Structure 1
Amino acid sequence: MSAMGRVVRSGVTRRRVQTVVIGLATMMAVTASVLGGSLVAASSGPFDRAFAQQDGAHLTAQFDADETTAARLTASARADGVAASAGPFPTVTATPRSTADVDLPPLTVVGRATPDGDVDRVPLSQGRWVSGPGQIVLSADHPAAASPLNTVLRFPDLPGQPTLTVVGVARSVSRTADAWVSPSDVTTLTGPGAAGGYQMLYRFAEADTAAHVDRGRAAVVALVGPRALVGAQSWLTVKDANERETALFVPFLVAFGALGLVMSVLVVGTVIAGAVGTATRRIGILKAVGFTPAQVVRAYVAQALVPAGVGVAAGVVAGNLLAIPVLADADQLYGTTDTGVTWWVDAVVVVGALGMVALTAWAAALRAGRLRTVDAIAVGRTPRPGRGQWAARLTARLPLPRPVSLGLAHPFARPGRAAAVLAAITFGATTVTFAVGAAASLDRVQTAKDHAAADVVIDTFAPPPGTAPAPNAAPRALSADEAATITAAIEAQPGTGGYYSVATTQVAVAGTTGFARLDAFTGDASWGGYEIVSGRWFARPGEAAVPSTFLTATGTRIGDSVVVTDRGRAVSVRIVGEVFHPTNNLLMFADAATFAATKPNLTAASYHIRLADGADVTGYVAGLNETLATSGFTAAPQGPTDSSGTIVLLDALAALLTLMLVAVAAMGVLNMVVLDTRERVRDLGIHKALGMTPRQTVAMVVASVAVTGLAGGAIGVAVGVAVHRAVIPAMGHRAGVNLPASVTDVHQPTTLLLLGLGGLLIAVAGALLPAGWAARTRTAVALRTE
């Protein structure tokens, strides 16, 4: 073996702690990088990828069975511009009731024997596909419960009161149905006198724009007949809705992924630089025995690459294994069907990690290799004369045990190494602070997004008693008598602390095209969870609060007035507040009395109730439902949000990346303290010969990183808060919304204090192992060590 090979092998095997630390730090950093890179890749155009993977439908068309036939619909696949089609599938709209005897929203049910086909392949996320009558697969976008498998859905308004058992959950990227059943069950779910329907799914040769989709739709109608088509949905509409739903979550995923990438680079770079930097004396010895500066650099780059290479290999394997469940959860959020980490993510991480290790080691070894041999030997063993003496004199005057004061002064004698430890701790504290803040912000985003401050909700989408919903029917208007019945029941129920109702309609806004959705409120809704970004909630008729997108689309500001036209009559409304509500559509919140003169056609309504202090939700709901028993409406407790799984995913991801990066930071401290302690072993022997006990030795070594840990924690917390306050609003702007103060101001003084002390914990955790080694070293061995 050559002299170079012996030096490399000796360095790797002799400095076992350094080798293990470099390997573990690189492994964890690569694991975090693979996770982060995979999430960044998964968050890039998720809808487009899912649509391509599932051959989504460019046009979902609903036809009246009385106006066409299945054969004619099958022939429509030959229409000009149609590249592929699926169907016809029989369809029906039915309203189920859960096992808890609660009416659920109406379901658009499609009879489909298999989830595969040339268009709109439907992947299952739970359970299996229907294999015969009496079974149903629910859409993941329209679940009956958090875990709906084996749930029995009843349809009491239909003849024979049929029941269906939920056997699976699936997601159609084209959102072609709320549920799928065996084709024979569609007849069972079709009420007396209700018209049957067919669904056809089309893919067009060109569908990039609305004009392309409209042209394809016209070609289909020309073959089938205009009277047969009763409804159609463009994939562009679905894409807009999907991107609105994930717009706030994609930036969070990208932020966590980028956090893993950036912090991995910084921390591993610090570990490698510290490991090579502490070998300055050994470099001087190698030069003394004839090694050239170039040979020294190559030797130490190789010593860093050997354990780093092992760590990279282990990290890639671990990252791919950990990425499988994380990407599976991301697939649930996006509707994609990725099978694992994208190959180029592994390639980029491997090349980047090895390149970073080689470059960092080369830079550190080159600096040491250029030193004169005598200087390198001297620098590697002893601090520069006079350095840190002022700190030693100052700490000696403190009312502290002498071992502690000696340890506190040590970082000032080795400022370069102290800076490396400080950097590692700072990165760790920054990571924890930002991750904790981002997770808290995300929780508050979900809370603000759902406007779910009510304790009990009454949704009025159910049909009147004794009637069945018509297929494809829009939500009906609530009659004055029905509204009075619900209001009287709420007011008479003991325990009511407050309530409001909200109904929706479409209005025109001057200066814009199309329609805006108006949410008209009756009662005080200021407590209903509508977070105000700026301004205030409306307080009287003639005022309105709007989301950020409304202000952007209309070019207005708080204090401006807009003219809203409803049923041909114009109403002037003054904007008094900006509400946090992620949407790309025009939306306005106003008092229903503002439009009393126009009598808007409110298409749906819901009642939101706040209970008085001490009232029992279960007892209140039972009593209110008893009063409402003859009305056909049902009260229910405010349930969990639909995106709770997303929040769990992001919180778990933040915790995982934080733990890994904190561990890397602690190993950086461990590496520096081990190397520094080994170089000070003769000094430790002198201290022990003068009477220092093992406990005092541990106290001295731990104290040597205490100041650095506190400083790193304080700096890391400050940087983490600054990064959080810069990144979180920017992420909201990327999604097209302004975030309220409750989302951005999440760090409390107590939390910041605990996070700052986290830097000290990282430092102590990294120093305990070398401190124990120093305490166990025999005095005679330490004195003989050079």
Structure 2
Amino acid sequence: MRATLRWAHSDLRTHRGEALFLVLATAGIVASLLLATALFGYATNPWQRIFTQARGAHVWLHTAPSADARKLSRLDGVESVAGPYRTEAATVSSRGTRASVELRGTPALPSIGRPLVTTGRWLDPAEPDGVVLETGLARALLAEPGDTLTLPGTARTLTVEGVADSAEPHYSPGEQPGLVWALPSAVRAPAGRVIGLRLDDPADTDYAVQRAVTVLGAGAVGEVSTWQQARAEAQGDDRLLGQVLGLFGLGALIAAGLAVHGAIATRIRGHLRDLSVLKAIGFTPGQVVRIFLLQHLAYALLGAVGAVALTEALGRRVPGRLGDAVGVWQGLPGHTLALFVVPVGAVLFIGLTTGLAAWRAGRVPPVPVPRRSAPAGGRLTPLARRALGLRLPAALVLGCHKAFAGRGRSLATVARLTLPLLLIVVALSAWTTIDRFHSSPGRVGLPTTLTVRSDGDDGTADVQAGLTRDHRVAAAYPGVEVAALVPGQTGTIALRGIGTHAEPYPCALAEGRAARGPDEAVAGQGLLDLLHARVGDWVRMTVGDRPQILHIVGRSLEPQNAGRVVTTTLDTLRENDPEVSPAFYELRLRAGADPMRVAAALTEAGQGHLDVHPVTNPADGLSPLRAVVAGLIAVLALIGLVELLTAIGGSVREGERDVLALRAIGMSPRQITAITVTATSCTALAAAVAATALGLPLARRLIDAQGDSSGIGAGIAQSPSPGLLFLVLLAAVLGAAGLAALPAARAARRRLADTLSAVS
């Protein structure tokens, strides 16, 4: 044991840099996997906790006032019914901020879908104008208990009594109204009722919705929301962040394992004589295997423990969503188990990848085998001889020959270096795609910047003319969005009529063409998946008691409502219902216009009758992903650096046997150094080219697959610019050349006596 420890200590002193890189790479990989686990827990568990504590309803139905809710309680599979509660659509304002809300008349604290009051108190019958706000709505309005909300256009005011968490979909400007619980007396203009169903088996949600709509009548049901939709919206971007971290963490773990395997294999080839000496003095094959295996497991364990310690101590201090996710995750039941399983799994994986190389070390014979006299690269190929005949620099020709002559070993080195570079290309593609949402939102389904809603009495033409009077507004598209029941009556989608035949809405199309004629429409990927439809199909939906049949002529990129949106023109909807009038206006601004200044100017010009807010960009929630991508690129670059150092060390050791021959033919130390530098640079160049060729299509497939799963649809992927890819390639080649220059120069200038001892 003492001899083993002394050998390990001596080896550590000789290869300090390599050991440090292995420890840091393992720490970065384990930290990435832990953060991915935290984000998955943060994305899923908070909503599940709220849903369980609130005994949330699996289905919420918005119905007409005449719907008989008693029929629903008799349906098979329905455990209990919440409501019906009268509802009123309204707009509230606080501190200059407006929000569309749904006032829900709730006489007492419900037992199904119970709001979990976090601040303040529940409704008090002594305060008839008191309300409780859903947490997301309160955050948007900057409201807290004691504040007063006004209803623009009326003399009514509401007093905030409390703020509560809910498992229902949260407030989203322009998409989902905020939820406000109020006493029934505060709901003065009820437009409908809402009914909640808690089911015996949540898996039967679609069937239960279908039966409920059948019992009540399709004309009596205006909107349906399910617990799956609420959970998906609650998870949102956090789940995507967790998927990205997990994907790259696993990829980095594989790359690190291969790098460690290559490092051990290269060191074994360079220390065959030392291993033979160990065997000669009494070390058994098992002891030799354990030396290498335990040594690298110790490096991996040290890095894993460091990652766990840093994540636990500093994880919650990371600004933004990552810090919040770690804070929530540390309070979840599976937190301790994950802290053990993730690092142990990473260490065991690295141990498995090092096992084969260590086993090869154990097979080294105790009597040194004489090295072959032939050069490591083998005979010159006809191409290399022809290049020398053309008087190309001998160092360049021999370096390229050395890089690719030993086919199996060279290909393995290129493959190990390609993997981290490939993941870097994928990470840069993700970064570029996020930037595309910000720089060119019109190309990813966000052609407009502001949404305007009017509560005045002006006509449509007057409102539109007033909006376009501002020279910074390029176009104003009138529109209306209604909830429609899909065939089978298992859920609702958003039917949007926006723009006119004369001035159509500029949808971002990924497939097909724009809707130009009557009854033509474009649909998001989420809607096509829901209806199992394709471009070119006719689809039927129900708006109230009116059927609407549309011809899907294109697939649009739809970042909103999980892609469950079908968009046609306002003129098409008016053909089916002449009374349809614009409910909002989408504004496209001119280049260079400041959206916030335009919104302020329009709000002031509207004299309190216009509600102006920016269009929600889904990339705003992905801002933490940039820091994540940057950290992952650093970890991957570190792994690539380890592999480069391994390749350089192996190339220098194997080139020692050629030094005498090269000097004998008159080559200077500088030329001998150039051979090794050229060989290393060629290896890095081949890996960078392969990583780019494989990484770009892989990144596009992964990003489009994520777009499909989120409902936006394929077509959002954006490849990095050629200039950025060239910089990556140049950095890989110059980095390899720079790292190889010093050790290659030292080897080329060694004394002849040292060289003779190395090749003997």
Q: Is TM-score (shorter-chain normalized) higher than 0.5? A: yes
Shift of residue 488 of structure 1? 3.1
CA distance in 1, matches of 2:223, 2:519: 35
Shift of residue 634 of structure 1? 1.9
In the alignment, what sits opposite 2:678?
Answer: 703
Out of 403, 406, 421, the position equivalent to 1:411 is 403
Secondary structure of 1:378's aligned partner: coil
CA distance in 2, matches of 1:567, 1:22: 64
Shift of residue 486 of structure 1? 0.7
Shift of residue 780 of structure 1? 8.4
Shift of residue 720 of structure 1? 1.1
Secondary structure of 1:499's aligned partner: strand
Out of 426, 446, 453, the position equivalent to 2:447 is 453
Contact kept in structure 1, 2:480 and 2:498, CA below 8 Å: yes
In the alignment, what sits opposite 1:536?
Answer: 513
Range moving further from structure 2, 587-596 or 439-448: 439-448
Kindly tell me: are residues 361 and 561 of structure 1, through their superposed partners in 2, closer, same or farther at Cα, counting changes over 3 Å? closer
In the alignment, what sits opposite 1:295?
Answer: 287
In the alignment, what sits opposite 1:22?
Answer: 22
5 Å-filtered alignment, 1:309-708, equals: 309-320=301-312, 324=316, 329=321, 339=331, 342-373=335-366, 378=371, 384=376, 386=378, 407-412=399-404, 418-442=410-434, 447=441, 451-460=445-454, 462=455, 464=456, 481-506=458-483, 517-523=494-500, 530-562=507-539, 572-581=549-558, 583=561, 587-599=565-577, 602=580, 605-612=583-590, 624-625=602-603, 627-629=605-607, 632-634=608-610, 636=612, 638=614, 641=617, 643-674=618-649, 676-677=651-652, 701-708=676-683
Contact kept in structure 1, 2:528 and 2:534, CA below 8 Å: yes
Contact kept in structure 2, 1:272 and 1:360, CA below 8 Å: yes
Shift of residue 590 of structure 1? 1.7
CA distance in 1, matches of 2:487, 2:104: 39
In the alignment, what sits opposite 2:226?
Answer: 237
In the alignment, what sits opposite 1:142?
Answer: 137
In the alignment, what sits opposite 2:727?
Answer: 754
Contact kept in structure 1, 2:262 and 2:643, CA below 8 Å: no
In the alignment, what sits opposite 1:473?
Answer: none
Contact kept in structure 1, 2:59 and 2:205, CA below 8 Å: no
Range moving further from structure 2, 560-569 or 330-339: 330-339
Kindly tell me: are residues 84 and 13 of structure 1, through their superposed partners in 2, closer, same or farther at Cα, counting changes over 3 Å? farther
Secondary structure of 1:540's aligned partner: coil
In the alignment, what sits opposite 2:64?
Answer: none
Contact kept in structure 2, 1:495 and 1:612, CA below 8 Å: yes
Kindly tell me: are residues 640 and 559 of structure 1, through their superposed partners in 2, closer, same or farther at Cα, counting changes over 3 Å? closer
Contact kept in structure 1, 2:39 and 2:238, CA below 8 Å: no
Secondary structure of 2:341's aligned partner: helix
> What does the per-residue CA deviation read over 1:629-664, in whole Å, with 9 as the maximum and x for residues that have no partner?
3xx5326463553x4553112232222222212212
Secondary structure of 2:583's aligned partner: strand
CA distance in 2, matches of 1:398, 1:152: 86
Kindly tell me: are residues 746 and 450 of structure 1, through their superposed partners in 2, closer, same or farther at Cα, counting changes over 3 Å? closer
> What does the per-residue CA deviation read over 1:502-555, in whole Å, with 9 as the maximum and x for residues that have no partner?
112355666766765421224369875632231112112221222234444445
Letter in 2 for 1:453: P
In the alignment, what sits opposite 1:222?
Answer: none
Letter in 2 for 1:312: A
In the alignment, what sits opposite 2:736?
Answer: 763
Secondary structure of 1:731's aligned partner: helix
Kindly tell me: are residues 579 and 386 of structure 1, through their superposed partners in 2, closer, same or farther at Cα, counting changes over 3 Å? closer
CA distance in 1, matches of 2:489, 2:193: 36
Contact kept in structure 1, 2:222 and 2:544, CA below 8 Å: no
Contact kept in structure 1, 2:519 and 2:550, CA below 8 Å: yes
Shift of residue 715 of structure 1? 0.6
Kindly tell me: are residues 59 and 259 of structure 1, through their superposed partners in 2, closer, same or farther at Cα, counting changes over 3 Å? closer
CA distance in 2, matches of 1:525, 1:46: 49
Contact kept in structure 1, 2:279 and 2:366, CA below 8 Å: yes
Letter in 2 for 1:97: S
CA distance in 2, matches of 1:50, 1:335: 15
Q: How many residues align?
A: 721
Shift of residue 252 of structure 1? 6.0
Kindly tell me: are residues 585 and 324 of structure 1, through their superposed partners in 2, closer, same or farther at Cα, counting changes over 3 Å? same
Kindly tell me: are residues 328 and 521 of structure 1, through their superposed partners in 2, closer, same or farther at Cα, counting changes over 3 Å? closer
Contact kept in structure 1, 2:448 and 2:587, CA below 8 Å: yes
Secondary structure of 1:609's aligned partner: strand
CA distance in 1, matches of 2:430, 2:605: 45
Secondary structure of 2:459's aligned partner: helix
Range moving further from structure 2, 556-565 or 147-156: 147-156
Letter in 2 for 1:596: R
Contact kept in structure 2, 1:297 and 1:366, CA below 8 Å: yes
Unaligned runs of 5+ in 1: 63-80, 218-229, 465-478
Kindly tell me: are residues 569 and 681 of structure 1, through their superposed partners in 2, closer, same or farther at Cα, counting changes over 3 Å? closer
1:279 equivalenced with 2:268 (yes/no): yes
> What does the per-residue CA deviation read over 1:117-167, in whole Å, with 9 as the maximum and x for residues that have no partner?
9965467xxxx779999999975643665988999876275999979899x
Letter in 1 for 2:453: D
Kindly tell me: are residues 522 and 283 of structure 1, through their superposed partners in 2, closer, same or farther at Cα, counting changes over 3 Å? same
Kindly tell me: are residues 612 and 581 of structure 1, through their superposed partners in 2, closer, same or farther at Cα, counting changes over 3 Å? closer
Kindly tell me: are residues 509 and 103 of structure 1, through their superposed partners in 2, closer, same or farther at Cα, counting changes over 3 Å? closer
1:262 equivalenced with 2:213 (yes/no): no
CA distance in 1, matches of 2:378, 2:530: 67
Shift of residue 431 of structure 1? 0.8
Secondary structure of 2:535's aligned partner: coil
Sequence identity (%):
23
> What does the per-residue CA deviation read over 1:676-712, in whole Å, with 9 as the maximum and x for residues that have no partner?
446757877999999967x878766543311111110
In the alignment, what sits opposite 2:74?
Answer: none
Kindly tell me: are residues 364 and 231 of structure 1, through their superposed partners in 2, closer, same or farther at Cα, counting changes over 3 Å? same
Letter in 1 for 2:517: R
> What does the per-residue CA deviation read over 1:288-322, in whole Å, with 9 as the maximum and x for residues that have no partner?
44544333323322332333332232233335456
In the alignment, what sits opposite 1:722?
Answer: 697
CA distance in 1, matches of 2:604, 2:482: 30
Contact kept in structure 2, 1:545 and 1:576, CA below 8 Å: yes
CA distance in 2, matches of 1:193, 1:412: 82
In the alignment, what sits opposite 1:57?
Answer: 56
CA distance in 2, matches of 1:626, 1:496: 15
CA distance in 2, matches of 1:154, 1:148: 8
In the alignment, what sits opposite 2:34?
Answer: 34
CA distance in 1, matches of 2:515, 2:444: 19
Out of 142, 150, 154, the position equivalent to 1:155 is 150
Secondary structure of 1:97's aligned partner: strand
In the alignment, what sits opposite 2:72?
Answer: none
In the alignment, what sits opposite 1:74?
Answer: none
In the alignment, what sits opposite 1:467?
Answer: none
Contact kept in structure 2, 1:519 and 1:589, CA below 8 Å: yes
Kindly tell me: are residues 628 and 279 of structure 1, through their superposed partners in 2, closer, same or farther at Cα, counting changes over 3 Å? same
Secondary structure of 1:574's aligned partner: strand
| TM-score, scaled to structure 2 | 0.74
Secondary structure of 1:452's aligned partner: coil
Kindly tell me: are residues 390 and 604 of structure 1, through their superposed partners in 2, closer, same or farther at Cα, counting changes over 3 Å? same
5 Å-filtered alignment, 1:167-186, equals: 172-174=166-168
Unaligned runs of 5+ in 2: 62-77, 172-176, 213-219
Out of 299, 314, 320, the position equivalent to 1:307 is 299
